Amino acid sequence: MDKTVDPGNDFFEYANGNWVKSNPIPAKETRYGTFTVLRDNNNKKVQTILVDASKTPQPKGSVKQRVGDMYYSAMDTVTIEKRGYAPIRTDLERIGQIKNVDGIINELTYERVNGLGGSLLFVGVGQDSKHPDTYITSVGAGGTALPDRDNYLKNDPRSLKIQAAYKKYIADLFALTGVPAEQGAKNAETIFAIEKEIAKAQKSRVELRDPNANYNKVNIDEFSKQYKNFNFRQILTASKITGQDSMLASQPRVIKRVDSLLTAVPVSDWQTFLKWKMISGNAGSLSSPFVKANFNYSSALSGQQVQTPRNERMANLVDGSLGDLLGQLYVEKYFPQAAKTYMVNLVENLKVTLGERIQGLDWMSPETKQRALKKLAAFSVKIAFPDKWQNYDGLVINRDDYYGNLKRISVWRYNENIGHLGKPVDKTRMGMTPPTVNASYSPNRNEITFPAGILQAPFFDFDADDAMNYGGIGAVIGHEMTHGFDDQGRQFDADGALRDWWKKEDADKFKERADKVVQQFNNFVILDSIHVNGKLTLGENIADLGGLNIAYAAFKKTKEGKSNVKIDGFTPDQRFFMSWAQVWRSSQRPESAQQRIQTDPHSPEQFRTNAPIVNMDAWYNAFDIKPTNKLYKKPEDRIKIW
Ligand SMILES: [Zn+2]
């Protein structure tokens, strides 16, 4: 804490000031705070498991063999160095043979089906937002690589810097595959020009927040007629998807743009583009010069000073690629079952409290309230680990073949994904791996998820008092629940279907309140002049405001919440708000701050801390906040939604 700061002037500084001062950002990080510290702790635990599993031979095909050998192969830098870029050489040669537009499209589907990622066209399978009990094919076009569309379209100093770093990166990687410098520089211009054209057709991040505007179900054959080059029936068949009448086409404007570029841009330029996607998509998995070039580029954007050590990166990679196998070992070794029981209880308390708050809302009609309560009652909850582990049946992992392992994982995942078509929706899966320090809400499943990784101090601690746990993990639970009722989540019903269940006057009143949150955040500024984007961050900000209110109301029902007994000189209410603030203690590099303000739907941590509390009467009472304090808001200006 920094007790020289008046809590009413800057609560974030008051609660975290000295932590921030005494914890400089490590060179390998772009930001540093509670989440990073826990992530590092979890990463160490994961490494312990992986080192142990890779040390001795394990029965072929077992969980330990596959995660252990995946890690071993990823750490086998002698073999990786020796191979250089050999793993993608035949792919580059194949791209070099492309003769025409059909050849380009064939290459795109070949790459998708053969575990080589994808570069321009993305075919996959997911829940149908309007019929969440069924799976549907979706197709989208991509091709851009910079963090945001605007980085291509704007000419402000930061965008120009990013563009220059990207072009240098392109030339650097081509040079590593033997392309002369002059040609590499030319390639960079060619690729950038194509990507810029695609970027022009893309929606902004704020536009992408409208689920109805983004839902575009089409008849596959009818839709194909609108395109000169794309025949989606053929593309799906080549992608091993058959027997479908309809599909979701996301951002058709981009698909259209790519379709016309296929004709407008010479085939030789497309070859350059596809080669670039092949090299850059795999740079992190090739020999060290590629890895280094990749880091140089990303550090120019993020400000990161040194690369994360390989063992940390590879532990993350195993978690990301074989999450359910590693998760089994992680949970067994590091997750206490009692924590799950405690969480089940806590979630139930918060659910009951949110129900009471919905009943008590003064701005919502009884009809809409009933539907909101129905949605709340239908919430499903995943805690710590999935109901059923994915065993990656048939997936072979070899100790001496890092790149081959990555490819096989990718093929396995693709087949698993498209294999869902025609089957009932699998509700046993968890969207995050167990060591993840995060939580989530899925609108289509109407489901909240809390991986094992976040169920530890400072979020959650058996030995801590209720004020700390309700201000920590309690507020996180409330946050995820509120996502079901934020500007996006409220558009999905109790079954997870994108369907309007609101009476118009209630929806209008909701929007009026949400607009005040947009205004509140638009006024926040970082690095002297960069404003928070209130519309981009609206869902998260509503979730924070709702979450903290729900957690506080639930806390007031506990024994400590009803008492006035001080701990370490602080009242229960003070401790509740301090716990909330300390969860968000963190600092970040200016480059990272700039990038996140453009791309991250979460607001910077100091605002996440201060913004909800200034709307809560209880905080004013707890810290005796006066009208002269900087954070003070008049009671009638305090925003209340959930
Ligand atoms: Zn959130």
Could you tell me the distance, in angstroms and rounded to a whole number, from the CA of residue 542 to the centre of ligand 1? 9
Provide the pLDDT for residue 124: 96
pLDDT digit string, tens, across residues 152-169? 999 999 999 999 999 999
Instruction: Please tell me the least confidently modeled range out of 223-227, 335-339, 413-417, 539-543.
Output: 335-339
Share of the chain above pLDDT 70, in %: 100
pLDDT digit string, tens, across residues 565-593? 999 999 999 999 999 999 999 999 999 99
Q: Is the pLDDT of residue 91 over 90?
A: yes
What letter would DSSP give residue 452?
G
Average pLDDT of span 584-603: 95
Provide the pLDDT for residue 532: 97
**DSSP 3-state assignment of 136?**
strand
**Euclidean distance between CA atoms 146 and 163, whole angstroms:** 8
Could you tell me the distance, in angstroms and rounded to a whole number, from the CA of residue 13 to the centre of ligand 1? 23
Torsion of CA 435, 439, 441, 447, to 10 degrees: 60
527 and 594 in contact (C-beta within 8 Å)? Answer: yes
Average pLDDT of span 523-548: 96
Could you tell me the distance, in angstroms and rounded to a whole number, from the CA of residue 439 to the centre of ligand 1? 8
Could you tell me the distance, in angstroms and rounded to a whole number, from the CA of residue 522 to the centre of ligand 1? 18
Could you tell me the distance, in angstroms and rounded to a whole number, from the CA of residue 349 to the centre of ligand 1? 20
Could you tell me the distance, in angstroms and rounded to a whole number, from the CA of residue 550 to the centre of ligand 1? 15
Could you tell me the distance, in angstroms and rounded to a whole number, from the CA of residue 258 to the centre of ligand 1? 33
**Euclidean distance between CA atoms 268 and 394, whole angstroms:** 39
Q: Is the pLDDT of residue 452 over 90?
A: yes
**Euclidean distance between CA atoms 537 and 463, whole angstroms:** 34
Q: Is the pLDDT of residue 117 over 90?
A: no
Could you tell me the distance, in angstroms and rounded to a whole number, from the CA of residue 442 to the centre of ligand 1? 10
Question: Quick one: pLDDT band at residue 462, thresholds 50, 70, 90?
Answer: confident
What 3 state SS string does 64-100 have? HHHHHHHHHHHHCHHHHHHHCCHHHHHHHHHHHCCCC
Could you tell me the distance, in angstroms and rounded to a whole number, from the CA of residue 486 to the centre of ligand 1? 10
- Long-range pairs for 230-234: beta carbons < 8 A, 24 or more residues apart: 230/105, 230/121, 230/255, 230/259, 230/262, 232/139
Could you tell me the distance, in angstroms and rounded to a whole number, from the CA of residue 538 to the centre of ligand 1? 10
pLDDT digit string, tens, across residues 301-360? 999 999 999 999 999 999 999 999 999 999 999 999 899 999 999 999 999 999 999 999
Q: Is the pLDDT of residue 118 over 80?
A: no
Could you tell me the distance, in angstroms and rounded to a whole number, from the CA of residue 480 to the centre of ligand 1? 6
Structure tokens at 332: 């067994």
Could you tell me the distance, in angstroms and rounded to a whole number, from the CA of residue 473 to the centre of ligand 1? 13
Provide the pLDDT for residue 459: 93
Q: Alpha helices, DSSP H only, in 303-394? A: 310-321, 323-334, 337-360, 366-378
What letter would DSSP give residue 155?
-
Could you tell me the distance, in angstroms and rounded to a whole number, from the CA of residue 490 to the centre of ligand 1? 14
Provide the pLDDT for residue 312: 98
- In this structure, how many other beta carbons lie within 10 angstroms of the beta carbon of residue 174? 24
Provide the pLDDT for residue 638: 98
Cα angle, residue 537 at apex, residues 535 and 540 outer, rounded to 5° = 130
Could you tell me the distance, in angstroms and rounded to a whole number, from the CA of residue 438 to the centre of ligand 1? 9
Q: Is the pLDDT of residue 94 over 80?
A: yes
Could you tell me the distance, in angstroms and rounded to a whole number, from the CA of residue 289 to the centre of ligand 1? 37
Interstrand relation of 31-33 and 586-588 (parallel, antiparallel or unpaired): antiparallel
Whole-number mean pLDDT of the chain? 97
Could you tell me the distance, in angstroms and rounded to a whole number, from the CA of residue 446 to the centre of ligand 1? 14
Average pLDDT of span 352-369: 98
Could you tell me the distance, in angstroms and rounded to a whole number, from the CA of residue 488 to the centre of ligand 1? 11
Average pLDDT of span 385-414: 96
Instruction: Please tell me the least confidently modeled range out of 86-90, 118-122, 379-383, 626-630.
Output: 118-122
pLDDT digit string, tens, across residues 28-64? 999 999 999 999 999 999 999 999 999 999 999 999 9
Please name which of 419, 471, 481, 413 lies closest in space to residue 446, comparing C-alpha atoms: 481
Could you tell me the distance, in angstroms and rounded to a whole number, from the CA of residue 478 to the centre of ligand 1? 10
Share of the chain above pLDDT 90, in %: 97
Could you tell me the distance, in angstroms and rounded to a whole number, from the CA of residue 440 to the centre of ligand 1? 6
Could you tell me the distance, in angstroms and rounded to a whole number, from the CA of residue 246 to the centre of ligand 1? 32
**Euclidean distance between CA atoms 324 and 389, whole angstroms:** 6
Neighbours of ion ligand 1 (CB under 5 A): 540, 543
Could you tell me the distance, in angstroms and rounded to a whole number, from the CA of residue 276 to the centre of ligand 1? 34
Question: Quick one: pLDDT band at residue 135, thresholds 50, 70, 90?
Answer: very high
Provide the pLDDT for residue 528: 84
Could you tell me the distance, in angstroms and rounded to a whole number, from the CA of residue 365 to the centre of ligand 1? 26
112 and 278 in contact (C-beta within 8 Å)? Answer: no
Peptide bond into 458 cis (omega under 30): yes
Residue 341: HSE in the Cβ half-sphere, 13 Å Cα cutoff: 4
The DSSP bridge partners found for residue 440 are 449
Could you tell me the distance, in angstroms and rounded to a whole number, from the CA of residue 411 to the centre of ligand 1? 31
Could you tell me the distance, in angstroms and rounded to a whole number, from the CA of residue 479 to the centre of ligand 1? 6
Could you tell me the distance, in angstroms and rounded to a whole number, from the CA of residue 364 to the centre of ligand 1? 23
